[in-house]
Structure 1
Amino acid sequence: MPVGNTETLYCIGCGAALQTTNPQAAGYLPAARLAKVTDEDAEVYCQRCFRLRHYNEIQPVELTDDDFLRLLNTIGEENALIVNVVDIFDFNGSVIPGLHRFVGDNPVVLVGNKADVMPRSIKRGRVRNWLESQAHNQGLRPVSTVLMSAKKPADIERLLTVIDRYRGDRDVYFVGVTNTGKSTLINGIIKQTSGVQDLITTSRFPGTTLDRIRIALDDGHGLVDTPGIIHRHQMAHYLSDKDLKLVAPTKEIRPKTYQLESGQTLFLAGLARFDFVRGHRSGFTAYVDNQLLIHRTKLENADDFDTRQRGALLQPPRPDDLADFPPLVRTEFTPKEDSDLVFAGLGWITVPAGVTVAGYAPEGVDVLLRPALI
């Protein structure tokens, strides 16, 4: 049952109500630790958050997608400024389907986070225009679009200026899919405005924030961190914790260009595959994490090579993860304009107009074509 004689106490890391009865449920705190909790405690962490913060150890909890959506669905009933945080590197994997229906009449500020991992050759204005166009395709009409890195104090200051411009007499709700850096951003805001560091639990693991976390502002309103919506089409859900860094770049991407003849294949480790099926000799540029293995081979040998080398040369997946790793599914494209072939949560490869290519990704992970960002 929740702790506290007169009111429920909440974990400051993930927002879950603290309880002592079920170690597998959100907010669990051992009874011995509970006995030391007083109303004066400013920072109380559940066992899950304590282990995550100190040992980088994740414990699953009994929450469903419906639990997350139920919390998100109440936002339209609030009078709030909505700050929607997306991952620029993985827009398609970080957009919340139908968000425009959840927010009601509340204004939305769109934040393109992780701008620091995009190559400097990509002009910020072009990225911003592209991001707004993608948002419009999703039914969102943001009042402002901000490109930033949650790790840079100057970027946080710019965002705070935008929030102050549009907040008015409202709370500010931060929403986003898991792994967009939303809680990292709020931690940066808290540190910059109050000096308190790492108040909210953050990690690469999907689903860290489990309930609303409210941080009071001086005028009686607050910043509210909502649970990250779990997007099942993200590559992160198919990787072990050892390999999550490969789908969550932290350093500027160094694009790799390959001059390919028709009938050649690029393996993106064992996570995805790119076939040049038909067309004239062309350059294809891969935008993925700098540490991700890219291996070139002949298309006619690709299936056999995949069978022999998956879990060996082609890692991840690692040998211990092969049994649970989904099969790769093929999708073919012949773009009429220069495009990006996107592997959701992993990156993209540029494709010139008029050629035929095929993309493979784990079953359930989106492979799609979009107008070229570059």
Structure 2
Amino acid sequence: MIRILQLSRKLFGRRQLLHTLKSRELDEPSYHKKPLDPQIVSLVKKYDSDISYSSHIELNKKPLTYKQRSELLFELGSKAFIERLNKARESEPSVLVEKLIEFNDLKQNNNTAKTVIDEVEPTTPLVRETVIAEDEEKKAQLARAKLKILTEMGLRRSAIEHEIQSFPDNWMEDYETFDENDLPDTQYGTPDPKVPFSKVPCHGCGSNLQCADPSIPGYLPSELMSGHERVVLKRLICQRCHFLKNYNTALKVQVSAEDYVNMISQIKDKFALAILMIDLIDFPCSIWPNIIDIIGEKRPVVVVGNKVDLLPQDSKDYLNHVTKRLEDALVEFGLSRANIKHTCLISAKTNYGIEDLITCLHTIWPNKGDVYLLGNANVGKSTLFNALLGSDYCKIRARNLIRRATSSLWPGTTLRMLKFPIARPSNALLYERRKRLMNEERKQQALESLRRSQIFTGRTPEKTLMEHIGLTYELLPDAKEENEIQLTDAPPTEKYFNEHHKSFKYGKWLYDTPGVIQHEQIINFLTSEELLYTIPKLTLWPRVFYMLPGQSLFLSGLGRVDYIGGASEMRLAVYASEKLSIMIVNTAKADEIYRACLGTELLNVPRGEEKRIQEFPPLVRYEEKISVGNYYDTRNKSVCDIILSSAGWVSVNLPPTETAHFYAWTPEQRGIFVRKPALLPHAAHLYRGKRQKFTPAYAQKEPTEVKH
């Protein structure tokens, strides 16, 4: 009993010290890299005893040493300093207020100067010139003061907001068909419903070009499209693809899920192979459960798990473990009855595994029929299409004639089917390809040996899975000239792909199909700016936290996990985009804190004005309680993953023989799954560093070598 009282006093003392440190650090700018938003400071102070951790606050702190932090605490704790600080705050206005007062005075003087100018008679030119000169000087002074205040108040848009929300007014000048004498009435151009739809597809998304309706795929303003021949239109891309490629801006178009299904169901009666792509960061939510009903059970399928480069290595055999978890998810979602020929892991972004996929396709499907890329939106189909287009899998004559598909993080960039002709290599060419791959493998082994040697020299080894896509056979110079002359219908300077040429007419094709967003995904709820925060681009290093019963973890405003009981303590490892903020609060106040902090940097997604925050669907709790237990003889292995739809997942780490109970929340209760065993069972222990002082978070560390 005495030990329990001593422990409770110790915990109470630490908690009081933590609250004291929090309040002082929030008020003192010396602790922060940049000043905190006053709204965030007031929220953290209001819920001081209920907020245990906020990644936004912690990441904004300066990296002070223990000695510097102690000296600063001692200085802030002295009575003389506190009295001096309070006196300064009460008597002296802030610098910003002074400048705003100065700005208003300058504005008043400017208005007075205008009145003086109006009263001066035109017969006194010298006086009038002097007044005008003084007026211009005051205007310049006024502009400089205004610019300085705007800069200090932080009203300039960030680079990301500028990249998303703005584009130049003269964007039409990027097109060769633009005429300066035919200027549009609006910035987006003028539609013309009288012009019929063309039969020329956009080479970025595959939609037929049209200028009738901006909400329909393939739109181009009438100023750029009408009156031009088919040869000229073949060199153009639609407005949506142009904005995606040049300004990273996504325009909304209306395409129903039924149209997608009807388009893909056309392959049910065709003799073809299906490449089913799955996002490893968003599975099982990115698995299309009804795909077998659309393409048929007898259809040969190659399952491809994309974005493997974003998964940190937690064991020497982790790729096989990830493959097994992917196959288990396929069985769970009813794809066990599919005719799956092979399962592989790739990275369409870094080209890892692409060469092995091409070898697999040459072995399983040697020019038997067409090939279709299938999968949900944003799984990387267009990126893989572009990678295969520049590889041995595409016919030599078509590599430089077919333009790349639009590839972007926005879901649904492909709106109609794109295609390229599949190469039909002879046995001699396949032998040459095998020799090239063996030489490249030897070079890769030498680089891997060098990488391992760098571990012991203090250098950080490269961890990203990355490969190079080589070309075994290229077009000869004579064939290039023939290709330019015979494969085009336009003049020699105008080259485009003619699919009806005798070299391609009777060949086999690879099609890039559009993707749909499944009900379990939440990416359709997000705006362009919010997608930049949610979709990860870097390796998902685990962020580990120490949790107690009665605490809740918020993954920005996209997910929440309540630890309601079980073991006296446990650890949660969060795998999500590093841009998503994390906050740990008391479960009793979680709903109130969520409503108060939503829309601020404490819960940085969703973002925008108050109307956007109100429109965002609220978090809804999954009805069933999630109960897990640790049946391993160690706590260094994660028990399971709690998946929070497209936002990411949380791994549970428990002491041996202990159990824990959770509730999970996502918008509209979407995409909540429990994955057993965990996808990366050793990562939380392997990359977990020391506990950060006065916080439930652990620092991240980089292991010198994976020993499992």
Q: Please classify the TM superposition score into its range, dividing by the shorter chain length.
A: over 0.9
Would the alpha carbon gap of residues 154 and 179 (structure 1) be closer, same or farther in structure 2, given more than 3 Å must change? closer
1:26-65 matched pairs, under 5 angstroms: 26-34=217-225, 35-39=227-231, 43-65=235-257
Select the residue among 251, 258, 268 that pairs with 1:66.
258
TM-score computed with the length of structure 1 as normaliser: 0.93
Q: Is the 8 A contact 1:153 1:192 kept in 2?
A: no
Q: Does 1:256 align with 2:543?
A: yes
1:1-374 matched pairs, under 5 angstroms: 1-3=196-198, 8-34=199-225, 35-39=227-231, 43-104=235-296, 105-121=298-314, 123-140=318-335, 141=338, 142-168=340-366, 169-193=368-392, 194=399, 199-219=404-424, 220-280=507-567, 281-312=569-600, 313-320=602-609, 321-331=612-622, 332-335=625-628, 338-351=639-652, 352=654, 354-371=659-676, 372-373=678-679, 374=681
Q: CA deviation at 1:113?
A: 0.1
Q: Is the 8 A contact 1:20 1:31 kept in 2?
A: yes
Greater share of helix residues, 1 or 2?
Answer: 2
Q: CA deviation at 1:204?
A: 1.6
1:165 & 1:11 partners in 2: Cα distance? 33
Q: CA deviation at 1:211?
A: 1.2
| Structure 1 range deviating more: 55-64 or 122-131 | 55-64
1:85 & 1:59 partners in 2: Cα distance? 25
Q: Is the 8 A contact 2:402 2:420 kept in 1?
A: no
| Structure 1 range deviating more: 43-52 or 103-112 | 43-52
Q: Is the 8 A contact 1:15 1:209 kept in 2?
A: yes
Q: Is the 8 A contact 2:517 2:524 kept in 1?
A: no
Would the alpha carbon gap of residues 164 and 319 (structure 1) be closer, same or farther in structure 2, given more than 3 Å must change? same
1:268 & 1:196 partners in 2: Cα distance? 45
2:234 & 2:313 partners in 1: Cα distance? 42
Q: Is the 8 A contact 2:272 2:370 kept in 1?
A: yes
1:221 & 1:88 partners in 2: Cα distance? 29
The amino acid of 1:117's aligned partner reads: L
The amino acid of 1:25's aligned partner reads: I
1:333 & 1:114 partners in 2: Cα distance? 28
Would the alpha carbon gap of residues 12 and 354 (structure 1) be closer, same or farther in structure 2, given more than 3 Å must change? same
TM-score computed with the length of structure 2 as normaliser: 0.50
RMSD over aligned Cα, in angstroms? 2.0
1:223 & 1:294 partners in 2: Cα distance? 42
Which structure has the larger Rg?
2
Would the alpha carbon gap of residues 309 and 161 (structure 1) be closer, same or farther in structure 2, given more than 3 Å must change? same
Q: Encode CA deviations 1:272-324: one digit per residue, 9 max, x unaligned.
A: 11111001111121111122211112222222211211112211112422021
Would the alpha carbon gap of residues 311 and 40 (structure 1) be closer, same or farther in structure 2, given more than 3 Å must change? closer
| Structure 1 range deviating more: 353-362 or 37-46 | 37-46
Identity %: 32
Q: Encode CA deviations 1:13-48: one digit per residue, 9 max, x unaligned.
A: 111122222222111223343334433765431222
1:61 & 1:181 partners in 2: Cα distance? 20
Q: CA deviation at 1:148?
A: 0.9
Would the alpha carbon gap of residues 328 and 154 (structure 1) be closer, same or farther in structure 2, given more than 3 Å must change? closer
Greater share of strand residues, 1 or 2?
Answer: 1
| Runs of 5+ consecutive residues of structure 2 not aligned to the other structure | 1-195, 393-398, 425-506, 631-638, 682-708
Q: Is the 8 A contact 1:37 1:44 kept in 2?
A: no
Q: Secondary structure at the match of 1:91?
A: coil
| Structure 1 range deviating more: 103-112 or 42-51 | 42-51
Q: Is the 8 A contact 2:200 2:230 kept in 1?
A: no
The amino acid of 2:626's aligned partner reads: F
| Structure 1 range deviating more: 118-127 or 197-206 | 197-206
Q: Encode CA deviations 1:132-157: one digit per residue, 9 max, x unaligned.
A: 12112223342111101002234221
2:388 & 2:674 partners in 1: Cα distance? 35
2:608 & 2:514 partners in 1: Cα distance? 33
The amino acid of 2:627's aligned partner reads: T
Would the alpha carbon gap of residues 309 and 196 (structure 1) be closer, same or farther in structure 2, given more than 3 Å must change? farther
Q: Secondary structure at the match of 2:282?
A: helix
Question: In the alignment, which residue of structure 1 is the partner of 2:486?
Answer: none
The amino acid of 2:407's aligned partner reads: T
1:197 & 1:56 partners in 2: Cα distance? 22
Would the alpha carbon gap of residues 52 and 294 (structure 1) be closer, same or farther in structure 2, given more than 3 Å must change? same
| Runs of 5+ consecutive residues of structure 1 not aligned to the other structure | none
1:149 & 1:31 partners in 2: Cα distance? 39
| Structure 1 range deviating more: 230-239 or 280-289 | 230-239
Would the alpha carbon gap of residues 37 and 49 (structure 1) be closer, same or farther in structure 2, given more than 3 Å must change? farther
| Structure 1 range deviating more: 96-105 or 134-143 | 134-143
Would the alpha carbon gap of residues 355 and 37 (structure 1) be closer, same or farther in structure 2, given more than 3 Å must change? farther
Q: Is the 8 A contact 1:82 1:174 kept in 2?
A: yes
